[in-house]
Amino acid sequence: MTIDLTGKLGGVIELLLESHSRINEAKPERYWYPLSMATYGVEEIIEALDSMCRFRTTMWEKTRKFEGLFAEYQGAKEAVMVNSGSSADLLLSFLLTSAPSHYSGPGDEILIPAVTWPTQIWSPMMAGLKVRLVDVDPETLNISLEDLERKITPRTKCLFPVHLLGNPCGMDRILEIAKAKNLIVIEDCCEALGSEWNGTKVGNFGLGASFSFFFAHHMTTMEGGMITTNSEEAAETLRILRAHGWLRNVVDPSRYAIDGPDIDPRYAFVNWGFNVRPTDLQAGFGLQQIVKLPQFNRRREVLADRFFAFIDNSRFLSRPKVSDLARPAWMALPVLVAEDSPFKRNELTRYLENEGVETRPIVTGNIARQPVAKLFKEFCDCPLPGADAVHERGFYIGLSPIISDAAMDRLLECFESFLKRF
C-alpha cells in the first residue's frame, strides 16, 4: 500500500462516506434499527482503488495474502477464497464426491439441519448426494443431536452441521457420533465467524468449513466466502474446482501428471470445476476487515449481552440457550415467542417493523415448509417439530457492531412498550 490515507484522497472519500447512510441498500428511512449497516470505511475503499490503479482486479496477490491471514486467524493450515459463502458450500460438497478424494459417491446421504440457509442444502444435492433433513432443537436453534443419531443409515457418509446465527453446535457429541459411525464432518460457519467451542474456533472440527463475507456478516468483502481445511490435498482439489478444473492456481502442480506433449501446462485441466473465483477487490476489503474483526466481534458481544439480558427477564420471549463450552459470535439477535404467549410472532414483528426495527424470520424456517419443498418429496418424509417451532415462532433482528448504545436503549424500549400490553 503506497497511498497515504491522510492525504487528499482519503479526505475526499471520508467526506463522501459522511454524506451517505450506512444502512444497506437504501433501506426505507423508517428503519432506524436496520438489519445491517456498512462496516467498511476509507481503508477498504483505498485498498480497492489501489488494485484498480494497478490493473490487478481479478484474483491475484491480495487474494493469496488474505487467504494466508484468514487461515492464521482461524488456526487452519489452508484457506481457499471464493466469491460467496454459498460457493464455499458448493465446493465443499463437490470435494466429497470429486476425484481424487471420493469421500462419498452419488446417492450417499448427507445429514443437514432443516433450519439453515438453503444453499447449504442445494450444494450437496448438486454434487449428487442425497440430503436427509434433521430436526433442530428450538432451544438452541441448532441441529438436534438425538434426531441426528436417529437419521443415520448405512448410506450416510457425512454430517453437515451449521452453527446457526453464531451459536456453536455441540461438536464433542457430533464428533463422537461421526467417529463411531465412520462419518465425515464438514461445517457451515457462514454465520459464525469467531465463534468457539471449548476454546477452539468453529470450522476446525472436520474435513473443511465454509465462511461467508456477505454485507451483513461478521466481516465483509461485499460478496465473498472462504473454505478452510487442514488437508493440503483437499485444498489443492478445492483450488482446482474453484477455477474451471485447471492447474493454474495450485501450489504444487508437479503432483498432477500431464500426459502428452500436446498439453500446454498453462491450460492443463485435471478435473471438472466451476468459476467461483473472487476478485482482488474483494480480497483487498478482506485484508482491512480481518484486522477490524476482533473489535467488531467484541462490540457484537457487548450488544448481544444487553439484549439477551432483557429477553431473559421476559415472560413470553426467549433467546437461544448456549452451552457452557460455547462462546458465540452472534451474527444477529434471534428471538422465540413462547408457545403459550398471548400474542403471535407476526404481531410482534409487525409492531417492530412499524416502529422502525427491521426483522426477518430465522433464515428459511423449516425448509420442508417452503414452496420449493414440493419439488423434493424426500424433504417431507418425517415430522420436524423443532423446525416447525422455529418456523412459526422465531425471528431475528440485526446486530451491527456500529449500532450505538442509544440505539440499543431505544430498541429495548420498543420491546418493553409492546410487552407491557400483556
Nearest of 148, 58, 81, 130 to residue 377 by alpha carbon:
130
Q: How far apart are CA 110 and CA 126, in angstroms?
A: 12
Strand-pair partners of 396: 334, 360
Nearest of 133, 143, 131 to residue 104 by alpha carbon:
131
Catalytic residue (one of 20, 102, 163, 217): 217
**Long-range contacts, stretch 237-240, CB < 8 angstroms, 24+ apart:** 237/95, 237/98, 237/100, 237/101, 237/271, 238/80, 238/91, 238/92, 238/95, 238/208, 239/80, 240/270, 240/271, 240/273
What is the crossing angle of helices 405-419 and 345-354, to 10°? 130
- Cell readout for 314 is 421476559
- Cell readout for 22 is 450506512
How much is the CA Rg of the chain, to the nearest whole Å?
A: 22
- Most distant CA pair in the chain, distance: 80
Q: How far apart are CA 296 and CA 218, in angstroms?
A: 7
Nearest of 7, 60, 72 to residue 281 by alpha carbon:
60
Positive or negative, the CA dihedral 149, 152, 156, 161 is negative
Three-state DSSP state, 405: helix
Q: How far apart are CA 64 and CA 389, in angstroms?
A: 43
Q: How far apart are CA 47 and CA 161, in angstroms?
A: 35
Does the active-site annotation cover 217?
Answer: yes
Three-state DSSP state, 102: coil
Nearest of 365, 10, 81 to residue 242 by alpha carbon:
81
CA 238 to chain centre: 18
Query: Which residues carry out catalysis?
Result: 217
